[in-house]
Amino acid sequence: MNRKRSKSDYIKENILSRNFSAVKPNEKWLTDVTEFAIPGESKKLFLSPIMDLYDNSIVEYKLSYRNNNKLVFKIFDSRLVNNPNVKPLFHSDRGFQVHFKYI
């Protein structure tokens, strides 16, 4: 895997530039982390999906009790296991979870 960790203040150019269409599968993936409160519990649950912009389907997701880089890396790596030859544009909301460049 060719990833380069960066500082949390690293800001990458917005290559996607609001072009939310793709002409083929695995061309553009989106991710974000959603937080869920668990009724009766003090901890929270975090959902991290990958959406393929080709057909707007969720192609992979992970659940975790922790919201951190590891959650996003796990989902990205998991998706690549079944698609080893793809090199998608991987876009997030630039939240603190995703601080790496895919090179």
pLDDT tens figures, 24-61: 999 999 988 888 888 898 888 999 999 999 999 999 99
The residue segments making up the domain with residue 83 are 3-9+24-102
User: Which is it for the CA torsion 96, 63, 26, 55, positive or negative?
Assistant: negative
Domain assignment of residue 19, yes or no: no
E-assigned strands of 1-103? Answer: 3-5, 28-31, 34-37, 44-52, 57-64, 89-91, 100-102
Domain assignment of residue 65, yes or no: yes
Q: How far is CA 72 from the centre of its chain?
A: 5
Distances (CA, A) of 65 to 5, 24, 61, 68: 22, 33, 14, 10
Q: What is the mean pLDDT of the chain?
A: 81
- State pTM to two decimals: 0.74
Domain assignment of residue 17, yes or no: no
Structure tokens at 51: 């959406």
Per-residue model confidence (pLDDT) at position 56 = 96
